[in-house]
Every structure is written in C-alpha cells, then in structure tokens.
Amino acid sequence: MEATTSLLDAAAVGDLVLLDPLTEESLLRTLQERFRRSDIYTYIGNVVISVNPYRSLPIYTPEKVQEYHNCNFFAVKPHIYAIADDAYRSLRDRDRDQCILITGESGAGKTEASKLVMSYVAAVCSKGEEVDKVKEQLLQSNPVLEAFGNAKTVRNDNSSRFGKYMDVEFDFKGEPLGGVISNYLLEKSRIVRHVKGERNFHIFYQLLAGGSVQQLQQLKLRQDCRHYGYLNRESSGLPGMDDAANFHAVQDAMRIIGFSPAEVTALLEVTAVVLKLGNVQLSSSYQASGMEACSIAEPQELQEICELIGLDPGRLEQALCSRTVKARDETVLTTLSVPQGYYGRDALAKNIYSRLFDWLVNRINASIQVKPGKQRKVMGVLDIYGFEIFQDNGFEQFIINYCNEKLQQIFILMTLKEEQEEYVREGIQWTPVEFFDNSIICNLIENSKCGILAMLDEECLRPGVVNEDTFLTKLNQLFATHKHYESKETQNARRVMDTSLPPQCFRIHHYAGKVTYNVTGFIEKNNDLLFRDLSQAMWAARHTLLRSLFPEGDPQKVSLKLPPTAGFQFKASVATLMKNLYAKNPNYIRCIKPNETKTAMLFTPELVLAQIRYLGLMENVRVRRAGYAFRQLYGPFLERYKMLSPRTWPRWAGSDRDGAEVLLAELAFPPEELAFGHTKIFIRSPRTLFDLERQRQERVVQLATLIQKTFRGWRCRTHYQQMRKSQIIISAWFRGHMQKNKYKQMKRSALIIQAHMRGWKVRKAYRRYFRAGASARLANFIYRRLVQKFLVSLGRNLPPLVVTDRTWPPAPYKFLADANQELRSIFYHWKCKKYREQLTPQRRALLQAKLCASELFKDKKTLYSKSLQQPFQGEYLGLTQNPKYQKLHAVAKDKLVMADTVRKVNRASGKTVPRLLLLTTEHLVLADPKAAQPKTVLSLGDIRSVSVTRFSDGFLALHLKETSTGGAKGDFLLVSDHLIELITRLHQTLMDTTAQALPLHITDQFSTRFQKGNVAVTVVESAKAGSKVPVCKKRGSHKMEVLVH
C-alpha cells in the first residue's frame, strides 16, 4: 500500500506517466519535490529516473535488497533495485535476454548506478563457492577499469572517460557464469593534456601515492606528482579520495580477477613508461642543409624509459626525432621539427595507453569469460557517456553525441515497440503515436556515402593539402539545405545573422538541443596517426607486454595500407552495440545531475530542465501515455479497489476480470476512459485514476472507522468477560481458602481438647495409684543416672596427656555445663602438674628462666620474639676447657651463673671495646679478654637499675649506686649478643640473693651518671647503624646518641 500511495501521490507522483497536467513545469516540479523528500528515483512506466544526491542515503542496505527481491515492479517504491530485480527475474524465469541502458551526462551518477545494478544481481543470486568466485570477479572488474579509465573532471570526481558495455552471462538457474566487457572510445587525448582543475587518469596518481618506495624505484618514478608534465606538474590532492588506499584496492582486485604478479608488474611498467614520456624534452637544431631538426634535450628520462622496456636508447631517440618515409621501393629518412617531435611523442603515449587499456579489458575478459558450449542467458549493462554540450565542442563530443543519438533512436523505437506489443497482447486497438524520429540526424552523421563521418574519412584519405577548412567547405556544400545542419556559410546563404556561430564551426540540431562543433583537430584525431618508426621501435623492445601491443611494428608484416580511422572504428562499434541491444529486452536508467557544484541535496531547476529536454523525458512520457496512461493486472487492481463496491467487498467469488468490470460499472466512469484487456485493465487519463484513488482513500477512512469501532467493542467485551471470569475464579478460590482455614482451626481445637482430656485422665489415674513425692524421687534418680553416665563416658574419652592439647569433650546436657568446665580446668592443672614432675632440674631451671624473660620483655622489646627459639646456655666462654680463663673463675669464688663476651662503651668517645662478663651469685665481673685479668668487680648489691631500648638491639645501661666502690667512674654502657638471657639471669640472681626484683627500664631516653657528670642518652633507630652493634656518638659533654638498627 505504501508503494502504491507513493506512486499516486498527487504532489509528487512516483510514476510520471500519471502526471496531470503533463508539462515541463509540472514534471520539473515533481522531480524537485521528490528530490526534496530524498526520493531520488522516479518512474516513467518501467524507466527509472535517478537524480544524483551527492551523498550517501540509507536505501542500499541488505534489508532493502530483500524488500525488492522477487517483488512486483510497481508494488514497491521507485528504486534502482526494482528495475534490476525485474530484469533479472525476466532473464531467469522468462528466458529473455536483458540489457540495462544507463545514460546521463558526466556527474549524473551513471557509474554508481551500474555498480548498484551489479551488486544487487550479485546479492540475489544463489550462493556457492564457484558462484561466489564468479560474482567477486565480475564486481572486482569495476575498480580496475575505473583506475585506468576514469578521471576527475570539472563536473565529476570519478568521471568515466570511456564507454563500457558488460554482458553478464547466466546459466538456466540464474547463476552467473561469467561475462564479457566491451569498451568504447577511451578519451586518450586526456593522457597528454587536460584543463586546469581536472586530473589525468586515476591510475597515475594512485601509483605514485600507493606504490612502495622499492616499487617506485623499480619503476624509476618519483612520488611527487609535480615532477611529471602529463600531470600538468600539479599536486594530486583530491578531497574525499584516498589514492593510496585505492591503489591497494586495485591490486587486490587484479589478484582476485586472476592477474599473475608478473602481469601486474608489466602493466605498471608500461603505465610508468607513459607517465615518463611526458618528461622527454626536445631541443631545436639545424642541419648543414639548413633544415630544422630536433634532438633529445635531457637523455636521462629517455635512458630510464629504455631500461624499463629493454630497448636501445639510440633506437628510441631516432624514432622520436626522425621519420622514415617509404614510397614504392625507396626509403627516405627525414628529420622532424620540434613540434612534429612533440606530436610523435604524444601520439606514442596516447597509443601505448589506449592499447594497454584494450589489453586490460581483454585480460579481464579472459578471466571472466564463459567456456564455450554452455547454454547461457545474457544481461547487458551499458554505462556510456551522456550527451555533452560544452563551450568548446570537438571531435570527442561529436562522436559521443552521435552515440547518444543512436541510443535515443533505439530507446524510442523499442519503447514504442514494447507499447505496441502490449496493446496487441491485451487485444486493445493500437493508436499510432506521433514522435520526433531522430533517424534523420543519425543518417546525417553516419550515412556511408554522404554522412559527416564518411566525408571526414574521405577528407583524411584525399591526397594533397588536407585541412579542416576543406572539410568544412565540403560539409557546407553537401548539407546546405539540411534542416538539422547549419554553419556560418549556410546561414549567410539563408540570410540569417547569428553571432553565436564562429566561422570554423558547424552546428547540428540534435534531439537534445543544438550543439556547435569546432572542426579544429577533427582530421588529426580521426586519423589517429602513429609514425611507423615508433611502432617498430616498440615492437623491438624486449618488454613482452609492450611488444604485444604493437603487432604492426613487426618488419616482416609491414603494410602500406592505412589503418582505419577513429570515426570508422567507432561507427562500427556503435553498429555492433546497437545490434546487440536490439536482440535484448531493454531496461532504462536515466541519470540526472541536480547541480554543477556537486553539493549534497541541491537542486538547480535550470540545469535539470536542460537535461530533461535532451534526455527526451517529456517525449518518453508522451509515448507511454499514448492511448492509456495506466494499466494493471486485474488481480492487484481488484484487490486494491474492491472496497468501493458492496458487490465486490469484502470478497469476490468470480474471476478477477469480472470483478473489475462489476466494480467499474458501479463507479460509473465514462466508457471511453476504460479498456479491458485479456489480463489488464487500462485507464486512459490520470485524472480518472486519481478520482479512483480519492474514492478509495475516503472508503479506507470509513472502513478504518468501522474497524476501530468493531475493535473497541470487541476489546470491551473481551475485557468484561475476562474480568467476570477472573472474579468467579477469585471467589471460588477465596471460599475454598476460607473453608480450609475453618477446617484447620476446628481440627486444631479438637486436638487441644483431646490433649487436655487425656492429660486430665492420666493425672486422675496417677493421683489414685502413686504417692505425692514420687515425682521428686524420680527426678533425682534420673539426674543421678545422667551424671553417672556422663562421668563414665568422660573417663573413657579423656584427651591425651599432652600439655599443649586443650581439647575437651562437650557437656551432653546443659545442666552439666558448669561441672564440665570445672572438670576441664582440674584435668588441665593436673596434667600440667604431672608434666612438671617429669622435668629434670636443668630443664625446670631453663623454663623458669624463659618464663621470667617473658614477664620482663614480652610485648615490650622487639628482640624478645627473636630470642624465643634460642636456648639459654649460661656459659658461652668455655671456662673449664680454656686454661687461660681458669684464673678468672678463681677470682669469682662463688657460684658462676653466666659467662659471655660483651662490648663496653667508652664513656668519653662512645667507642666500644670487648670485655668478658662473668655473673655469679654475688658479683658481676668485667675482664680484659686478652690478658684474662679482671678490670671491674661489682657486687650485685651495687646495681641500682638497668635500662634497655625497645628495639631489637643488645644495648643496655647498668646504673650503679653512688656508694658503689666499683663504680667510681659511673654507670656502665654495654652491648651484649645475649641481652635477654643476661638481664633475665641478673634478675633471677638478685631475687635469689636479695629477694628484690631488678629495676628494669625499657625506654628510648634515659640518664646515666658518669664521673664528669650526668649524660642524657637518646636511642635512635636508624638504617646507618650496623646490623648488630649499636653506634654510640657523643653530642657534647652531656649528650650521647645511640644509633640502633
């Protein structure tokens, strides 16, 4: 419905056949309105008009492909996919060869349209590895041909400078087998010159931008485009086009098509040769005879070209600077002037590139062509230059416009033929249509005896002085009275004054408008002359590809016959093309350029109107509207409009034709407006169709109201029934729930009454048979039995007699928890007592010392945790084994408690000296280790207190009483490796002898008494200190700083 509504939208009809009234203004307005809505496609019957939006639109997605796949042409919105699908299905299902003709001027989007057609056909074909390979090769031929055949022009950044016709061949299932590409009239003059603002062919810029450094060195090229004369020595920048990426895409495409690496290299080498030929400069000189001659001004470029193609530089220089003329049996070598030399150079470059392009097309055909013998169907896609009207029109525009005249001729004839065939097929009388027959213009150009091309060929072959003036004079004589030809001379003869027609020009009244052609260059371009010396030089090259491009250069095959002219070749190609197109069912895509600046979504009415005229769209619409403007199959027509009659709505039981006749009879349209064919209904004027559509829209509104009313009533009834049903279900469930709850409550009450009754009966019987104190006795008995059972079980499950094992069985009953905890404590103390009784006196004394150390230092000094694993030995000097130390033992007459080596801190300098420390039950002795002589003997009663740090060092201070005889010089500062054991044993010894604890201070700051006064000692933890020995530093006379680790 959406698509048909779009076609019949009165403001912007999708099919211009339905336009009413039909004028140039209404047609232009319709295209502009649709373009404003981003509807760039419009129909004229089965012809698609495409207006280039110059931006991407979201209408080419895979979802769109599926939407148009296998759909009726007029059942969907106008789209290029619709014509592609219609052509493909006609080929596949009806076995009719198809051709799609894409026309329009440069920049109108012809190349993109051909790509879209090919991509759609590739997308809807069946899948398979071999099929996918063929489709990929066909699609990848586009970027290769675009690189070598497209260029930037002032109108189009990717303008096709050649005509392309591709025959895609399918098997009986509609799967692609391969294809054949034909090319027409490559614009080879662009090789040697192009106007400012345009570019040469893309491949030159892509090669320079995308080639690797090594590749460019092998091709002897520089990356800078400004170095090359054929590129106008201009930079290559083009917004929106990445030449380097495109070059890599071209290389990938050639690999997919099947080019070997050697072929790609040879292709690029020949391309580089063409580019470098433009840098070959000639200089003028004079021979002894006084004749002008030319020579190579800079041999470097020529040398590099010859290295690339494997040719002697002298041979190429001679071919460029001189010419061999053969007349019968004589051969004359003549020198060329500088202009003649440049002409030969440019002719060589154009011929090399043109023949290379032909070779490229043939090489692609060799990869994609179908093997002979297979049955095939063909779909042709023609992408060819549109009609061109420039300020200065030359030979190329003349040839291009001739081709467009032929395409217009086939378009009109085949459209009329198709219309006539449909009318005959449907049994409706055919009314002859008046239209402009452009065969008179085609005959003016192509007549083999007196056509413009024949006169041009005749002039090129005529001996003597030949120039454009004689050619124009001959045309003026021949066509003096022709109504489609005029020149300055014919105008003068008719006494017509027209300043817009210069003397060196003639004008042809084409179907698309008047075009003025300048005859300058016609003869030269038609001759397309290449000196035989240059052909032979190219054939002499060792480069295989280049040599194959010039077979006429073989000295064994020298022919004095002139080659066919460019006009003759093109005329023959167009004739072959027309014959090919006549054999196929045509489908047309007319491309329109909306503005000259390539601005997105900008519509210039004057420009579009000019294209409407020379594309012949008005004439096309008139041909399609000849007789009847609208026709449709009975089935879809009845399906769309059956609601307009009560007899056909909502369903018709008879045939579709009978239903359509009944429907239209009730609507009372004039009989001359309608015609009933065998399978289709024909409506003469668009006004009748729009009236039919208006009635349908009004009826649709009524039906929509009816449907809405019916739906609302159904929805309300359904809602009520659902609510009623839900209420009944909820009520039933609620009543059931209430009864269940009531039953549960009654059951619970009955159980309670039963329990109370049974209890009352038991109590009554108990009071009757038992004493009043029986319950207490029973309870005591049970309690004693449980306790007995608990104790017996505990005796069997006592934990092991290991002091560290604190496990204990849990109480089986809660009332035994306190007793169980008490028993656990008693058992543990008993276990510890048994463990202590087993200890030896030495082990006992050691554990007592460790316990004492824990009380003194645990959680107070860092060194304590490190001493836990060290056993207290007491005697570290080996006094009994060393005879040297025996006299020290004799000095201490009482019992020895500990003997160790310590370091005594010098009170004056802070330096440390080693000393032997002996602790006895009554004294503390410090001796010289070398002489083994006592230095100081202190009574334990002289020790006032001891100070240590909280760090992991062995530093301590022995504070002595002032009355001490041994401490006349003051307190002692010592460093011991067994500090924890030393202070612990000193503490125990004092407790044993004096029953007083050792005053112990664990602090970082304390005061010591020296002979010269008190000194404040500050202990600092520092990384500068040694790993074990503290560092003592005097800070004046009354301060000392101890650095510990």
Residue of 178, 386, 659, 954 marked catalytic: 386
Annotated active-site residue in 153, 159, 476, 867: 159
Lowest mean pLDDT among 47-51, 246-250, 264-268, 951-955: 951-955
Q: What distance in Å separates the CA atoms of residue 293 and residue 274, rounded to the nearest whole number? A: 24
Residues 6+ apart with CB under 8 A from 192: 230, 278, 346, 349, 350
Q: Would residue 159 show up in a list of annotated catalytic residues for this protein?
A: yes
The predicted pLDDT at position 262 comes to: 94
Question: What is the DSSP secondary structure assignment for residue 874, as one 8-state letter?
Answer: S
pTM of the predicted protein model: 0.62
- Gap between the Cα atoms of 457 and 56, Å rounded: 46
825 residue type, one letter: S
Above 80 in pLDDT, residue 435?
A: no
Mean pLDDT of the 796-800 span = 87
Catalytic, 490? Answer no
Q: Is 868 helix (H, G, I), strand (E, B) or coil?
A: coil
Model pLDDT for residues 618-675, shown as the tens digit of each residue: 877 877 776 677 788 888 888 888 888 888 888 888 888 888 888 888 888 888 888 8
Choose the catalytic residue: 105, 187, 388, 459: 388
**What's the confidence (pLDDT) of residue 843?**
82
State the pLDDT confidence band at 200, using cuts at 50, 70 and 90: very high
- Tell me whether residue 229 is one of the annotated catalytic residues: no
**947 is known as an active-site residue:** no
Let me know: does 645 contact 630? Beta carbons within 8 Å.
no
Selected catalytic residue, list 14, 45, 104, 107: 107
pLDDT in tens, 512-552: 788 999 999 888 888 877 888 888 899 999 999 999 999 88
- From the candidates 6, 50, 106, 354, give the one annotated as an active-site residue: 106
pLDDT tens-digit readout, 951-979? 888 889 999 888 777 667 788 889 998 88
Lowest-confidence pick of 181-190, 342-351, 424-433: 424-433
Whether residue 49 has pLDDT greater than 70: yes
Phi-psi region of 939 (alpha: psi -120 to 50; beta: other; left: phi over 0): beta
Helix axes 24-36, 617-624, angle to 10 degrees: 100
Query: Where is 101: in which H helix or E strand?
Result: strand 98-103
The pLDDT of residue 1032 is 86
Choice among 30, 52, 160, 401 that is catalytic: 160
pLDDT at 757: 95
Q: List strand residue ranges (DSSP E) for 629-700, in order.
A: 630-633, 674-676, 680-683
C-alpha–C-alpha distance, residues 110 and 107, integer Å: 8
Edge-first strand order for the sheet with 513-518 is 485-487, 505-510, 513-518
Sheet harboring 680-683: ordered strands across? 630-633, 680-683, 674-676
Q: Of the residues 6, 42, 103, 111, which is catalytic?
A: 111
Structure confidence at residue 770 (pLDDT)? 64
Known active-site residue 619: no
| 638-644, long-range: CB < 8 A, 24+ apart | 638/663, 640/4, 640/696, 641/692, 641/696, 643/696, 643/699, 643/700, 643/703, 644/692, 644/695, 644/696, 644/699
**pLDDT value, residue 329:** 67
pLDDT of residue 953: 87
Question: Other CB atoms closer than 10 Å to residue 466's CB: what's the count?
Answer: 14
370 — pLDDT class (breaks 50, 70, 90): confident
pLDDT digits (tens, 9 = 90+) for 63-101: 999 999 888 766 788 999 999 998 998 888 878 889 998
Summarize the confidence of residues 122-151 as an average pLDDT.
84
Mean pLDDT of 440-446: 91
Instruction: Return the percentage of the chain with pLDDT > 70, whole number.
Output: 94
Structure confidence at residue 2 (pLDDT): 45
d(CA 541, CA 553): 10
Q: Which pLDDT score is estimated for 465?
A: 66
Rounded distance, CA 902 to CA 918, Å? 10
159-160 vs 912-920, strand pairing mode:
unpaired
Q: Give the whole-angstrom CA distance, residue 558 versus residue 550.
A: 12
Query: According to the model, what pLDDT value does residue 715 have?
Result: 95
Please report which confidence band the pLDDT of residue 39 belongs to, taking 50, 70 and 90 as the band edges: very high
If we measure between CA atoms, which residue out of 852, 853, 863 comes closest to residue 955? 863
- Give the active site residue among 156, 335, 645, 1008: 156
Looking at the predicted structure, is the pLDDT value of residue 246 above 90? Answer: yes
So what's the pLDDT on residue 1? 39
Range with lowest mean pLDDT among 724-728, 742-746, 800-804: 800-804
Residue 394: how many other CB atoms lie within 10 Å = 16
Band (pLDDT 50/70/90 cuts) for residue 728 is very high
* Residue range 991-1011: mean pLDDT, rounded: 87
The pLDDT of residue 673: 83
Structure tokens at 679: 């399978």
> What's the whole-number mean pLDDT along residues 716-741?
95
What's the pLDDT score for residue 9? 61
Assess whether pLDDT exceeds 70 at residue 1027: no
Distance CA 278, CA 346 (A): 8
3-state secondary structure of 903: strand
Digit-coded pLDDT (tens) for 272-323: 999 999 999 999 888 776 788 898 888 899 999 999 999 999 999 999 998 8
pLDDT at 375: 67
Q: Is the pLDDT of residue 1026 over 60?
A: no
pLDDT above 80 for 10:
no
How far, in Å, CA of 383 to CA of 392, rounded? 24
Q: Return the pLDDT at 274.
A: 94
Of 120 and 385, the one with more pLDDT: 120
Q: Is 1003 annotated as catalytic?
A: no
| Angstrom distance (rounded) from CA 280 to CA 634 | 72
Edge-first strand listing for the sheet containing 972-976: 933-939, 923-928, 912-920, 896-905, 972-976, 955-960, 943-948, 1000-1002
Supply the mean pLDDT for the chain.
86
Phi, psi of 479 (to 5 degrees): -115, 30
What is the secondary structure of 941-1010 as a DSSP string? Answer: GGEEEEEE-SSSS-EEEEEEPTT-STTTTB-EEEEETTHHHHHHHHHHHHHHHHS----EEE-SEEEEEE
Residues 594 and 604 sit within 8 Å (Cβ to Cβ): yes
